[in-house]
Structure 1
Amino acid sequence: MDRRKIMSLGRSSLVISLPKHWIKLTELERGDYVTLNIQKDNSLIVFPGVRKEREDREITLNVDPSENKDLLTRKIIACYLNGYFGINLISTDIFTVAQQKAVRNIVGMLYMRILESDARRIYAKIFVDESKAPIDTAIRRMHVITSSMFQDALKSLLNQDVELARVVHGLDDDVDNLNFFLLRLLRGAVLHPSLAVKLGLEPIDCLDFQTLVQRIEYVADHAVTIAKNVIMSSGRGLWLSQSVVESLMNFGNQAFDMYNEAIRAFFARDIDASNNVIERLDEMEMLNQKLALSTISVNEALAVCMLCIIRDSIKRIAEYAADIAEITIDHAYKPKPAVST
């Protein structure tokens, strides 16, 4: 680390010299400009030249008509997550119908708008001001939707309510929307210190928040898995016995409480509550083993599969709750930025 002494220039100005090797590396000369960026910890970053806070970068993707629509979707998501504001898709011939539908579906999910479109070119752009996006609020909204999905999935299981299960399935897109948007913000904050300052984030916050967001999204996915099995069982005329359903509900309600408590503890920075969530995993494992034994009483093979899938989803949600609780404890002891005096 290079240390520099502050010197006075004139009556009121204070200056420091720039390292000679850095000047050669950046090819700066007398009269050139540099850009200064104050960080959250009051440190200062010096950029060579005049630098915009964040350029509205664009990228062009060449698309072959034979390219799989799922791969095309993943490429668009990758560009979005890496901070591109404009995505220009150019076909080497013409887009297939499947490709056009895939592009329009994912563009809508990513809060983007298609500004130009024809048989050979699609141009999409994002207009969201990311510097004004409240991270905490977006995560809370994502959690509220996910929590309601899990609760309704359990209700649909208890009451054999297929319509409610379909509603749960439909809400998954809302969680995915917020998931992609939050991951874009967090990756952007790592890449662009000025955005991190505006969002009130430190680099370590981005790591913890990214893990938190992904765990919430996983919970939503497993709520959908439960709902899908309710829909499937109704369509095939299958159902579990009342005693098995009651055991599943008890298991699910325990996981539901763990998940909600883990999120509450995260925002409250409640270490004791987080530790209690983690310690409840042993109890959940015992309930899981009892449910596994109840599989013996189920005669239909498809019903056995349904029971195992739902049981596994509930178990995983409990484990994700414990993961969130671990994040809370780790986050509580993050080192404070060192400020020199």
Structure 2
Amino acid sequence: MSQQEERRLQLTGGSTYIVSLPKWWINSTGLRKGDAVMLIPQPGGGLLVSPISGAYKERRIGVLEAAPLEEHDDVVRKFLAMYLAGYDAIEVRFKGEMVELRSYLKGVIRRKLIGVEVIEESQDSMVARCLLRYSELPLKSIIERMRILSSLMMQDALRAIIEGDLSLAQDVASRDDDIDRLYFLSIRQLKAAISNPAVAGEIGLRSLREALGYRLISKSLERIADHATSMAQVAPLIGKFPQQLSGELSEFGAISLNVVEDAVRALVSMDERTALRAISLAQDVVKYEERLTKEVFDLGAAAIVVAGIKLMLESVRRIAEYGSDIAEVVINMISDRSMEEPSGDRFTSM
């Protein structure tokens, strides 16, 4: 139920102001006498009242009907959408045995989702439950872990290309699932924070306005991992990398990684100078790519080798640009914080 009501302040005891809460809201949240509520200052002078005990009472269970002729990937998309929406448990109902779909879906759950386990199974259904509490892996920890993993993927992709190590290249591509797991968890947390301010404090958000910023940052880190995977996938096309360019490629990659590291460092410390440095460094990466591309064409190598190297250089540049995007978001977040009142628009972790 959503409606607005006007309530008048009352003074009791000469120093305490009180306001009554609507009965319909009390009933809808399941609150009782003696239960605690959280008071959260909002931008513009508002005050949000949120139930504390009620935040964890409700266990949302979703039901997904899998049709016999439905594509496996379509069922997976629906399942992921329910996971991201915040369902605590998802029951998948199969019309018939549908052994292949069941096996495929369980594999996706294992590879792509953190803390989700299949806890019940029958001939025509299975139930998956999310067992991870948000406080066990706060948002900033997820972002930092994504940065570390994506940076290592890029470093190893470059090494695989320079050394012609196809086994390492395959290993890099296989790690993309690890990033996806963290990315999906971050989106689930942010969606929950928007609908439940108590969760916002639990995952470390300072204000709801920061949710959009973190959403963009997590997506940029996920895309960085995708480009590292793309780099690894072109290693077979390149074959033996021209050794006269190996030193420049290593330096090129290091500069690109510095952009990402500076951007995330700026996020952690909310340091505008570090963010601006990352943006400036990203512009240097673009110029470096232009120079390296010209040198590659001057080598006179086979067309397929030149194409592979060019694709790889573009991915390194795109990684720097995603780092620059993160830095831009950080600057916006710093600006938002500067507009806040000293005592307003903050969440206190539970």
1:68 corresponds to which residue?
A: 71
| Counterpart pick for 2:59 among 41, 56, 60 | 56
SS in 2 for 1:104: helix
The answer to whether 1:93 aligns with 2:122 is no
Q: Matched residues, percent identical?
A: 25
Letter in 1 for 2:156: D
The residue that corresponds to 2:253 in the other structure is 252
Question: Which SS does the other structure have where 2:11 is aligned?
Answer: strand
CA-CA distance at 1:70 after TM superposition: 1.3
* Structure 1 partner of 2:330: 328
> How far off its partner does 1:60 sit?
0.6
- Match of residue 319, structure 1, among 321, 324, 327: 321
Distance 1:194 1:337, change over 3 A: farther
Please report how far the alpha carbon of residue 8 of structure 1 lies from its aligned counterpart in structure 2 after TM superposition: 3.2
Taking the TM superposition and a 5 Å limit, the aligned residue runs for 1:179-194 are 179-194=183-198
Which position in structure 1 is the counterpart of 2:347? none
Q: Which residue of 2 aligns with 1:38?
A: 38
Cα distance between partner residues in 2 of 1:268 and 1:38: 28
What's the offset of the Cα at 1:41? 2.7
Q: How far has the Cα of 1:160 moved from its partner?
A: 1.7
Using the size of structure 2 for normalisation, the TM-score is 0.83
Amino acid across the alignment from 1:276: R
Alpha-carbon deviations, 1:52-105, whole Å to 9, x = none? 2142101111111221111111111111111001111112223141x1232112
Relative contact order, higher structure (CA 8 A, sep 6+): 2
Contact 1:36 1:45 in 2 (8 A): no
Helix, strand or coil: the match of 1:333?
helix
Q: 2:155 aligns with which of 137, 143, 151?
A: 151
Task: Give 1:161's match in structure 2, choosing from 162, 165, 168.
Answer: 165
Task: Note closer, same or farther for the CA distance 1:47–1:291 as it changes in structure 2 (3 Å cut).
Answer: closer
Give the CA deviation at 1:189: 0.5
Q: Secondary structure at the match of 2:83?
A: helix
Give ranges in structure 1 of 5+ residues lacking alignment. none
Distance 1:10 1:3 in 2: 23
Matched pairs, number: 327
After TM superposition, give the deviation of residue 169 of structure 1 in Å: 2.0
Q: How many angstroms apart in 1 are the aligned matches of 2:200 and 2:181? A: 21
Contact 1:134 1:199 in 2 (8 A): yes
Query: CA 1:106/1:133 → structure 2, altered by over 3 Å: closer, same or farther?
Result: same
- Kindly provide the amino acid, as one letter, of the partner of residue 141 in structure 1: R
TM-score by length of 1: 0.85
Give the root-mean-square deviation of aligned CA atoms. Answer: 3.0
Once residues 337 and 74 of structure 1 are traced to their aligned partners in structure 2, the CA distance between those partners, rounded to angstroms, is 42
Q: Deviations over 1:293-333 (max 9, x none)?
A: 22353442321221121011111001011111111211112
Where does residue 178 of structure 1 map in the other structure? 182
Q: Does 1:140 align with 2:144?
A: yes
5+ residue gaps, structure 2, are 345-350
Q: Counterpart of 1:263?
A: 264
Whole-angstrom CA distance in 1 between matches of 2:81 and 2:300: 44
Range moving further from structure 2, 252-261 or 241-250: 241-250
1:227 alignment partner AA: A
The 3 A distance-change label for structure 1 pair 132 and 241 is: closer
Contact 2:9 2:19 in 1 (8 A): yes
Matched, 1:207 2:212: yes
Q: 1:47 to 1:184 in 2, by over 3 A?
A: closer
Relative distance call for 1:233 and 1:64 in structure 2 (3 A) is: same
Measured in 2, the distance between the counterparts of 1:246 and 1:88 equals 53
Write out aligned runs for 1:272-287 (5 A).
272-287=273-288
- Partner of 2:231 in structure 1? 226
- Indicate if the aligned counterparts of 2:41 and 2:48 stay in contact, CA closer than 8 A: no
In the TM superposition, what whole-angstrom CA distance separates every residue of 1:198-228 from its partner, at most 9, and x where no partner exists? 3342211211111111111111111111112
Q: Judge conservation of contact 1:142–1:178 (CA < 8 Å) in 2.
A: yes
Match of 1:243 in 2: 244
CA distance in 2, matches of 1:16, 1:123: 43
Structure 1 residue 153: Cα displacement: 1.4
Deviation for aligned residue 1:118: 3.6
Aligned with 1:124: secondary structure? Answer: strand
Q: Distance in 1 between matches of 2:313 and 2:15?
A: 71
Worse-superposed segment, 240-249 or 205-214: 240-249
